C-alpha cells in the first residue's frame, strides 16, 4: 500500500457529515458519512488514504474498508502521516512502556486497539509469545510488520488469531497461523498469585482473559476461608484467584471440557487440586441443579459471554443477565457475596446494573451493592469510543 501522501487515494466526507467529530478525536468514519462513488468503492480494503471534508480540506490519515460498516479508521489526525513499519513499531513501543510500568512480568494485553492508537488491533502477550488479532483490514495487510515489531521488542512466537465476529465483518479470512516461531503446549500465566494455563491456539479468544485481572483480585480479597462457585469459569479465572486469596474450595462450572481441563491444570500447579472441582454443562441448568441440591456458597461469581454484543441483541441480552442474577442469587449464603459480570459493550453499566438488581429481586434476596469493577489498565478506554470500555462487574453482599 502506498504511504506517499501526494499519490495515495482520498476519501471524502459527505456535506452533512460532521468533520469536527473526527478532528476532535473520534476514531471511526461510518460508511453512511462518506461519498461512496465508483472511485472510492474501488479502493482496496486496508489501503491507507487521506480523509477530506466536503470542501476537500484534508482531515486525517485513515485506513479504508468500503466493504465494512466502518468505512475508515483514523490512524492519525495528521493528514500527512506515514503509516509504515517504523510507525507501527513506535506505537507498539509506546504501548509496551505503559505495561512495563504496570506489571513486573510480561503477561498482559499489550495493544488494546483504538485506545492504543492501533484501530482494530488486539495483542495479548504471554511471556515470549504474543497473540495478534488484526480485526481490521489495514492491520491484516500489515500483519508481518506488526509481527516484526513484536520480535524487535523481545517476542519470539507470534500467532495471528483469525477467529471472531469482527474479522468476518471486515471481510477477512479465518486463517489462524504462526507468523513467527510456534508454541505447541499451553503456557502457564501467573496472575494475582494464581496460575492459569493459556491455550493460544485452541482456547477462546487469545487463550486468556486479562481484562478481569483487577476483578479477580477483588473477589480474591473477599474469599478468605470461603467456599466459592465460579460459573462460566473458562480456565478458572475467578475460582483460581479465590484459591490464591485463601478460599477453602472452589467449584468451576463451564460448558467446555478443554477449558475446565486447563483450569484443573492450573489448580495442580498451585498445589490446590484437592480444593478445586469442576462440573461441565449448561451454566443455567447447573445453577438450577445446585439450588435444588441445597448448595450454598460464600462467594458466587457469574462471568458469562457477551449476551448483547451489539444493539440488536440488547433486549434479549438484558433478559439473559437478569436470568443469571435470578439463578445465582439463591446460591449465595446469607452474608455472602455475588459478583456478576458483563462484557457486552451494548449493555452499558446502568442497564446491566438494573437487570442484575431485577434478577436478585426476583430471587427474593436482599442485597447491597458494594463494588463496581472494570477492565484493568492494560485495557485503556478511548475517551471517544464507548465500545472500548465494555467490561463491567458488580459485587453484591447478600443481607438475608
Q: Please tell me the distance from the alpha carbon of residue 343 to that of residue 308, in angstroms, as a whole number.
A: 8
Beta bridge partners of 277: 251
- Based on the residue annotation, tell me whether 341 is a catalytic residue of this protein: no
Q: Please tell me the distance from the alpha carbon of residue 148 to that of residue 66, in angstroms, as a whole number.
A: 28
Catalytic residue among 327, 343, 391, 398: 343
User: In terms of Cα–Cα distance, which of 373, 375, 309 is closest to 347?
Assistant: 309
Contact indicator for 250, 243 with CB cutoff of 8 Å: yes
Question: Which CA distances in Å does 177 have to 9, 89, 158, 181?
Answer: 31, 21, 9, 10
Task: Tell me the residue ranges of DSSP E strands in 118-165.
Answer: 121-126, 129-134, 157-160
Contact indicator for 122, 113 with CB cutoff of 8 Å: yes
Q: Please tell me the distance from the alpha carbon of residue 65 to that of residue 29, in angstroms, as a whole number.
A: 10
Residue 47, all three cell numbers: 489501503
User: In terms of Cα–Cα distance, which of 12, 84, 88, 64 is closest to 171?
Assistant: 64
Contact indicator for 194, 266 with CB cutoff of 8 Å: yes
Angle between helices 257-269 and 237-244 (to 10 degrees): 10
Ramachandran quadrant class, 294 (left: phi over 0; alpha: psi -120 to 50; beta: rest):
left
Q: Which residues carry out catalysis?
A: 343
Amino acid at each position: 500500500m502506498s504511504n506517499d501522501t501526494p499519490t495515495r487515494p482520498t476519501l471524502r466526507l459527505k456535506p452533512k457529515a460532521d468533520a469536527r467529530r473526527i478532528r476532535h478525536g473520534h476514531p471511526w468514519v461510518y460508511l453512511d458519512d462518506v461519498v461512496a462513488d465508483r472511485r472510492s468503492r474501488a479502493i482496496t480494503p486496508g489501503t491507507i488514504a487521506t480523509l477530506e471534508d466536503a470542501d476537500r480540506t484534508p482531515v486525517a490519515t485513515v485506513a479504508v474498508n468500503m466493504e465494512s460498516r466502518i468505512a475508515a479508521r483514523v490512524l492519525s489526525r495528521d493528514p500527512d502521516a506515514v503509516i509504515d513499519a517504523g510507525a507501527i513499531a513506535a506505537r507498539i513501543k509506546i504501548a509496551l512502556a505503559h505495561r512495563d510500568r504496570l506489571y513486573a512480568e510480561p503477561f498482559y494485553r499489550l495493544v488494546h486497539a483504538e485506545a492504543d492508537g492501533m484501530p482494530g488491533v488486539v495483542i495479548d502477550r504471554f511471556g515470549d509469545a504474543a497473540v495478534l488479532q488484526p480485526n481490521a483490514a489495514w492491520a491484516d495487510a500489515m500483519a508481518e510488520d506488526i509481527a516484526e515489531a513484536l520480535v524487535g521488542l523481545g517476542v519470539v512466537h507470534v500467532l495471528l488469531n483469525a477467529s471472531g465476529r469482527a474479522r468476518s465483518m471486515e471481510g477477512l479470512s479465518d486463517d489462524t497461523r504462526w507468523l513467527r516461531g510456534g508454541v505447541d503446549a499451553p503456557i502457564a500465566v501467573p496472575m494475582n498469585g494464581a496460575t492459569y494455563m493459556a491455550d493460544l491456539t485452541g482456547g477462546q479468544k487469545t487463550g486468556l482473559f486479562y481484562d478481569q485481572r483487577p476483578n479477580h483480585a477483588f473477589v480474591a480479597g473477599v474469599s478468605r476461608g470461603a467456599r466459592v462457585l465460579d460459573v462460566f469459569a473458562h480456565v478458572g479465572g475467578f475460582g483460581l484467584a479465590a484459591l490464591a486469596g485463601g478460599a477453602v474450595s472452589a467449584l468451576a462450572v463451564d460448558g467446555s471440557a478443554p477449558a475446565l481441563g486447563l483450569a484443573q491444570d492450573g489448580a495442580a500447579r498451585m498445589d490446590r487440586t484437592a480444593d478445586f472441582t469442576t462440573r461441565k454443562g449448561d451454566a443455567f441448568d447447573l445453577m438450577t441443579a445446585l439450588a435444588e441440591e441445597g448448595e450454598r456458597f460464600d462467594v458466587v461469581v457469574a462471568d458469562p459471554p457477551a449476551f448483547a454484543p451489539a444493539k440488536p441483541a440488547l433486549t434479549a441480552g438484558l433478559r439473559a443477565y437478569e436470568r443469571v442474577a435470578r439463578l445465582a442469587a439463591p446460591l449465595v449464603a446469607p452474608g455472602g457475596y455475588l459478583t456478576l459480570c458483563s462484557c457486552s459493550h451494548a449493555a452499558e453499566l446502568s442497564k446491566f446494573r438494573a437487570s442484575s438488581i431485577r434478577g436478585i429481586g426476583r430471587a427474593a434476596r436482599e442485597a447491597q451493592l458494594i463494588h463496581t469493577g472494570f477492565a484493568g489498565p492494560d485495557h485503556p478506554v478511548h475517551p471517544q469510543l464507548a465500545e472500548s470500555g465494555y467490561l463491567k462487574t458488580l459485587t453484591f453482599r447478600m443481607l438475608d
